[in-house]
């Protein structure tokens, strides 16, 4: 809303908000698995900052291995078509096993955070994201 001479001009609807999203999953193999899905809205631009961590949880190996990741990406939803603005980043802050991973993925109009574990190991994952956006 723009205030002009005491009147509210409503020609553009500007929203700037942030939301937090938690997600949890357990993996038992090396198949990329969705831990968190973030919906987008038509005609918006958004930035997502996410943190993800995993810990080995199978019997006798609890907390024997772990990993933490920091993800950052910008996206636009232009009339229902979602695309990345630039290249999303995923940095492994620390990881005991290089085979584990955490990445962004576009699926229709949603942004997914996918984790990859390891064959023969139970890994508990948690991801948390802050979504800041503006739409017209």
Tens of pLDDT, residues 21-73: 689 999 999 999 999 999 999 999 999 999 999 999 998 888 899 999 999 99
- Domain assignment present for residue 134? The answer is no
CA distances (Å), 95 to each of 75, 83, 100, in order?
27, 29, 8
Does 73 map to a domain? yes
**So what's the pLDDT on residue 59?**
85
Q: Is residue 10 part of a domain?
A: no
- Which strands, in side-by-side order, build the sheet including 110-116? 33-39, 110-116, 101-107
Does the residue 3 lie in any domain?
no
Residue 52's domain comprises 19-126
Question: Is 6 part of any domain?
Answer: no
Confirm whether 14 is domain-assigned: no
Q: Is the pLDDT of residue 86 over 80?
A: yes
Q: pTM for this structure?
A: 0.84
108: region left, alpha or beta (phi > 0 left; psi from -120 to 50 alpha): left
**What is the Cα–Cα distance from 61 to 115, expressed in whole angstroms?**
20
Identify whether 112 is part of a domain. yes
Query: What pLDDT shows up at residue 43?
Result: 95
Residue 91: band (very low, low, confident or very high) from pLDDT cuts 50, 70, 90: very high
pLDDT at position 2 over 90: no
Number of domains in the chain: 1
pLDDT tens string 110-132: 999 999 999 999 999 999 999 98
The answer to whether residue 100 sits within a structural domain is yes
7 pLDDT higher than 70: no
User: How is the chain classified by DSSP, letter by letter?
Assistant: -EEETTEEE-SS----EEEEEEEEEEESSSS-EEEEEEE--TTEEEEEEEEEEEEE-STT-TTSSEEEEEEEEEEEEETTEEEEEEEEEEEEEEES-TT-EEEEEEETTEEEEEEE--TT--EEEEEEEEEEEEE-
């Amino acid at each position: 809303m723009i205030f002009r001479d005491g009147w509210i001009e409503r020609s553009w609807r500007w929203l700037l908000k942030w939301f937090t999203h938690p997600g949890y999953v357990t993996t038992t193999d090396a198949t990329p698995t969705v831990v968190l899905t973030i919906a987008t809205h038509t005609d918006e631009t958004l930035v997502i900052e996410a943190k993800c961590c995993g810990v080995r949880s199978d019997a006798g190996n609890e907390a024997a291995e772990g990993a933490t990741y920091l993800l950052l990406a910008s996206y636009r939803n232009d009339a229902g078509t979602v695309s990345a603005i630039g290249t999303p980043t995923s940095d492994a802050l620390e990881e005991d096993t290089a085979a584990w991973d955490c990445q962004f993925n576009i699926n229709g109009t949603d942004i997914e955070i996918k984790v990859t574990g390891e064959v023969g190991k139970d890994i508990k994952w948690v991801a948390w994201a802050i979504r800041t956006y503006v739409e017209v």
